[in-house]
Amino acid sequence: MFRAARVSALISLFSVSLPAAAAAAPVQASPTASAQVVLVRPLTLVRTADMDFALLGVTTGGTATIDPVTGAMSVTGGLIHLGGTPSPARYSGAASKQTVVNIKVPKAPVLIRRVGGTETLSVSNFTLDGQDKKILAQQQSFTFAVGAQIAVPAGTVEGLYTGQIDVTVQYP
């Protein structure tokens, strides 16, 4: 899924005055921590990050391309990167035995749709951060990233555009 959301945080600071005796009293702390894990079976693929073209401004139309190796985004034409952190989609997987995995990304453009509307944008030119074939040892994990290019024509209706891309890993 693609996302282009901006999160703002409002931080309030409070000043508290304590009497000297209360401030000097010993304080006992028992901080707690939480733990979590996601368990997957070998030969499973997990998306660890969505592709994000961040926040783009459009004047005359153009393209934005995310490099899967560096995570950097370049823009052309009348597109302006207004903020946010662009990111390629990231995946993790594992093999239970020595094997070869083949990673498949879309060859044809994928349409993403404006939330609350019918307008679409085309995402294409999907690329990997390495080879599409990985040779894995027994019990070995692997990661990879997928970059792409989005075309934004002049006059595109503003809004959040989202969609899904299908990435497949074949374990022969």
Q: Please give the full DSSP string across 61-79, using - where no structure is assigned.
A: EEEEEE-TTT--EEE-TTE
What's the chain's average pLDDT? Answer: 83
Interval 118-127 mean pLDDT: 98
Q: Does residue 141 have a pLDDT over 90?
A: no
pTM score, whole prediction? 0.75
Distance between CA 80 and CA 82 in Å, rounded? 6
- The SS3 call for residue 144 is strand
Break the chain into its structural domains and give their ranges: 48-170
CATH number for region 48-170: 2.60.40
CA atoms within 13 Å, Cβ hemisphere of 87: 17
From residue 162, alpha-carbon distances to 1, 5, 62, 75, 150 in Å are 6, 10, 18, 19, 12
Q: Whats the size of the chain, residue-wise?
A: 172
Q: Does residue 99 have a pLDDT over 90?
A: no
Beta-bridged to residue 47, according to DSSP, are 91
Residue pair 80/127 in contact (Cβ under 8 Å)? The answer is: no
> Tell me: the pLDDT tens digits for 79-97?
999 999 999 999 998 887 8
